[in-house]
Structure 1
Amino acid sequence: MQRFETVGHARPVALVQPGTDLTAPLAPSVAVEANVTGTSPVSLSLVSGEVTLTGTYDGTLGLTVTTGSRTTRHQSRRSSHPEAPVTTVGLALTGTHLSVLTREGGAPDSGWTVRGRLDLLDRVDTRDEAWLAGLVHHVTGTVGEVRAGAFGQLGLRDLRVVSHADGSPWREDGPDGEHVLLTATSAGPGFFDTAHTSVWSLDPRTLALEHRSDLFFRRPDRPGVFGDHASHLLRDTRGDHSRWLLTTSTWGDFDKSAPDASVGVTLAETRVDLTRGRHVLDTRALALPTTGLRSVGVWDPHLVRTDEGWLVAYVSARRFFRFHPVLAGGPSLDDLTLLGAASDRRATEGPVLARLDGADGRWQVLASDGRDGRAGQRRRYPVLDLHPDLPADRRLAEVGALDAPYPANIPWPTLLEEDDGWLMIGFDGRPHGGRLVGYGSHGRVVFARAPR
């Protein structure tokens, strides 16, 4: 395969997802924004039952939380003061986190800056479906246009091609030719628990991205709606029956400090079209084998069905955060056996099953070596294949590497085969939203091409 060269970037940012409203929100992923037109104080509130969540702007930015008879006020000492005239104030609820944000400086497309953020985990069960169903918004002050609806994204990461079960990309006719669909992690104003899964349309010629849907999940072991992500969506067709299968990593409430901290993979099955709209899906646990491995969690699933059954590539962590790729297979998704692992790696994730030029039709595993890997295993895209003569925990061994630019963070090596070559759809670690966001808003999409 020839060298990949970067050909474009994209970063769709939206606090309120266009075309949505705040009528009976399905998930704790909502936002309100208002254009500032005067000098009077502005407040934006989300209200349900005895809970009122408010963001205020009166020269500085702050948050107020009322739960029953208790009211608390919160203000960041360093970030609450805007650095330029405020044009828009926003309030976002993402998972258990409440954020107040600003657009500043007069430019209508200026970026969002988080000016206050608070974890509501000990105050409000924001994932409760009954509480969400009663959620409404209120805005006071001298404002112009007000927009309220589903939270959008501060960036995209963890991009995968939506596929048929045989691994071929799901394609749809667009006004100017065929488009492919991608799943992505829509980054929120914080770490894992502020993000969610989304679906996007990509025009491979122009590299234009268009938002299509947002997906949220019910877990089999606990109540509520979760913004789990790092997903793979595929269309499984057998005879006259077709269904969507969606495998997802349970990052939506991950807490590394918890004594039982873990991440798993869930499976949702439905005939409902998940490529448009906004959906909450019932899931069940997908048991991904870690036989012979020391494992505290698995994530990043990617599936293909072959003539012999299913192949599933994923990541296993021996501890947080030391992780490596694994490959399993079996006649059904409920009967998988570990085929091999690459336990010699310690910062490698984003596995993708692919058939590359010169691989004689074999499925291989592409992956991404992060900067914390061992010497020789950093900032690169290894190609892994099974070596039956090696021990199971080392059987998934490197046979080569993609020659491609490696941006910051751990970009997944998602490939789309085209008539004249390959398109790589990755991402980098560039943040959005200011210092209060911290890690997690990374997600500028990076495109690269390689000719035949």
Structure 2
Amino acid sequence: MTDFDRRDVLRALTALGVTGAAAGLLGGTAEAAGTDPFSLKFSVTEQFRPFALIAPKFVQVDTAARPGALVRTGVRPKAPYGTVTVEVLDAGAPVVAGLAGDGVSVLGTYDPAAGQARIEITTASGTAVVKTAAASLPKAFGFAVVVNENAVTVLADTGAGWRPLLTERDQVRARIDLRDPAVLGKLGYAYGRRGPARLGRVRAGYYGQAGVRDPHVVQYADGRPVIRDGKLYLTMTNAGLGFFQQAHWAVWTLDLADPTKLEQVASLFFARDGVVLGDHAGQIVVDDDRFILLMSSWGDFAFTGVHVRHTVTRENVLSGVHVLPTRQLPLPTTVSSWDPALTRIDGRWHIAFVESPAQQPSFVFHPALAAAPRGADYDHGLTLLGADTSVGQTEGTILQRVGGRWYLFASDGDAREYPVYDLRLRKLGTLDAPYGTNIPHPMLVRIGNRWWLPTFDGTQYAEDVLGYGGHGDFILMRA
């Protein structure tokens, strides 16, 4: 059997949910795919851009527009990450969309007569236009308003895809805090026309993504990937329309028979400090009948520190929309931390993470590894096993076993390489894999008897309007 034929058979088997034993049937065990990380040579096989203002499986409203200056649907998101899109058939008057309740609203508008897009906030104190931008759109176009945390973005599609007209966060937050459940709970999706405009289809639902990053395979406690019905489960950060606070966390599936089929199946949000946030860049571990979730506190990042948070739940977080309370993970560090990676190795929980002694005037960060005592749970008695303080731009920590031995993988943005460490954080070498833009994470995962590496790059979306944060492309490498 040729290598090409073997790959075809493996794809067919994984599509049926058959893994592990399939490698033995096809001429070797799964471990035989590589005796160590340095025997693997990766190349890019897929690269594409997931983009959706409304996540396809999370549409909450899909209807023909009703007449009215402001039509309130009564449908609400559980977290401040939602989108309203309106088909404008004839822009003969201003059109509006966004969130609205009794006496309170957060709206984006387009006024064809004034040639202007606006963001306006109404509270008990009155209505304020917090930002405007010149805009000249055709009679018919797509109109959208997106809320990511407290950032509001107005977009239009004139036939070449969605492009932002303007965005604002600080002036919105100065008047209203959409992260507050008491505030958000009074607001629902809304749209309307202020005059003789004609509207068509209206859709609303949970915001999707402008790109994806930080892939981490959903795994069992011993490191095996979660594969169901031929689909690999993984978490990714869904890039928002702006900086880190505008992003949120989601669960995706990757079709092993056709890796171009990437589908979001869950949206995850987190309650802490009295607000609901889109913390992200983490991992889900399935341990018997519980889900362990670890994530980084980027949801309210303000250059004053980051830390790893966690929670345990028996809710099926691999499907649907969830808002979960979290608490800080007691890592053995006195500085900031992010990018957690948790695995039980030889009966002992190990957690890799990033230590960051500074985020301004510039970021400084390096990989570290801690472990709990044998027999203890993952969040008890963690002690530091090692850290590589010789590097200053290294993140994306991943724990993976290759050839029967455990390694810590990371991504060095200065050296533009993927360093490979042992479990004492001694550098053993580097991974033979293309290194793209940004700081791509080396998410190694064994599929049958081959190694795959899903990652991302730094390709931005509409950076001229939105600034940094709307990245990146999904990239799949295979060895």
User: Please, what TM-score do these two structures have when normalized by structure 2?
Assistant: 0.82
1:53 corresponds to: 106
1:352 corresponds to: 398
2:285 corresponds to: 234
Q: Is the 8 A contact 1:17 1:152 kept in 2?
A: yes
Relative to structure 1, the CA distance from residue 200 to residue 158 in structure 2 (aligned partners, 3 Å threshold; closer, same or farther) is same
Q: Matches of 1:86 and 1:3 in 2, distance apart?
A: 50
1:393 corresponds to: none
CA RMSD of aligned residues (A): 1.7
Amino acid at match of 2:285: L
2:332 corresponds to: 289
- Corresponding residue to 2:471 among 438, 442, 445: 442
Q: Matches of 1:35 and 1:365 in 2, distance apart?
A: 49
Q: CA deviation at 1:408?
A: 0.7
Relative to structure 1, the CA distance from residue 437 to residue 86 in structure 2 (aligned partners, 3 Å threshold; closer, same or farther) is farther
Q: Matches of 2:431 and 2:265 in 1, distance apart?
A: 30
Question: Deviation string for 1:343-402 (max 9, x for gaps)?
Answer: 111000010001124xxx2321100111xx2xxxx2111101245xxxxxxxx2311111
Q: Is the 8 A contact 1:309 1:330 kept in 2?
A: yes
Q: CA deviation at 1:318?
A: 1.2
Q: Is the 8 A contact 2:220 2:287 kept in 1?
A: yes
Q: Is the 8 A contact 2:105 2:187 kept in 1?
A: no
Q: Matches of 1:114 and 1:317 in 2, distance apart?
A: 35
Question: 2:49 matched to 1:11?
Answer: yes
Which secondary structure does the structure 2 equivalent of 1:193 belong to?
Answer: helix
Q: CA deviation at 1:95?
A: 0.8
Which secondary structure does the structure 1 equivalent of 2:174 belong to?
Answer: coil
Question: 2:121 matched to 1:121?
Answer: no
Q: Matches of 2:408 and 2:224 in 1, distance apart?
A: 15
1:338 corresponds to: 384
Question: 2:300 matched to 1:253?
Answer: yes
- Between Structure 1 and Structure 2, which shows a larger proportion of helix residues? 2
Q: CA deviation at 1:82?
A: 5.1
Q: Matches of 2:163 and 2:209 in 1, distance apart?
A: 11
Q: CA deviation at 1:130?
A: 2.2
Question: Deviation string for 1:312-355 (max 9, x for gaps)?
Answer: 00001010110000000013322110000011110000100011
Q: CA deviation at 1:75?
A: 3.5
Q: Is the 8 A contact 2:106 2:119 kept in 1?
A: yes
Q: Matches of 2:77 and 2:345 in 1, distance apart?
A: 39
Structure 2 unpaired stretches of 5+: 1-38, 62-74
- Corresponding residue to 2:418 among 376, 381, 389: 381
- Corresponding residue to 1:301 among 333, 337, 340: 340
Q: Matches of 1:25 and 1:245 in 2, distance apart?
A: 24
Q: Is the 8 A contact 1:113 1:434 kept in 2?
A: no
1:432 corresponds to: 461
Amino acid at match of 1:340: G
Q: Is the 8 A contact 1:286 1:334 kept in 2?
A: no
Q: Matches of 2:155 and 2:88 in 1, distance apart?
A: 13
Relative to structure 1, the CA distance from residue 145 to residue 182 in structure 2 (aligned partners, 3 Å threshold; closer, same or farther) is same
Q: CA deviation at 1:136?
A: 1.6
Which secondary structure does the structure 2 equivalent of 1:246 belong to?
Answer: strand
Q: Matches of 1:96 and 1:86 in 2, distance apart?
A: 29
Q: CA deviation at 1:433?
A: 3.2
Q: Matches of 1:413 and 1:49 in 2, distance apart?
A: 48
Q: Matches of 1:351 and 1:97 in 2, distance apart?
A: 30
Amino acid at match of 2:455: G
2:120 corresponds to: 64
Question: 2:21 matched to 1:21?
Answer: no
What is the percentage of aligned positions where both structures have the same residue? Answer: 40
Amino acid at match of 2:60: D
Q: CA deviation at 1:83?
A: 7.7
Structure 1 unpaired stretches of 5+: 388-395
Amino acid at match of 1:286: L
Which secondary structure does the structure 2 equivalent of 1:435 belong to?
Answer: helix
User: Please, what TM-score do these two structures have when normalized by structure 1?
Assistant: 0.87
Amino acid at match of 1:143: L
Alignment of 1:141-152 (within 5 A): 141=193, 142-152=198-208
Q: Matches of 2:451 and 2:125 in 1, distance apart?
A: 59
1:392 corresponds to: none
Q: CA deviation at 1:76?
A: 4.8
Which secondary structure does the structure 1 equivalent of 2:96 belong to?
Answer: strand
Amino acid at match of 2:142: T
Q: Matches of 2:281 and 2:456 in 1, distance apart?
A: 13
Q: CA deviation at 1:148?
A: 1.0
Question: 2:127 matched to 1:99?
Answer: no
Size of the aligned set, in residue pairs, is: 410
1:37 corresponds to: 89
Q: Is the 8 A contact 1:215 1:280 kept in 2?
A: yes
Relative to structure 1, the CA distance from residue 99 to residue 364 in structure 2 (aligned partners, 3 Å threshold; closer, same or farther) is same
Q: Matches of 1:270 and 1:82 in 2, distance apart?
A: 49
- Corresponding residue to 2:316 among 257, 273, 296: 273
Which secondary structure does the structure 2 equivalent of 1:436 belong to?
Answer: helix
Q: CA deviation at 1:132?
A: 1.7
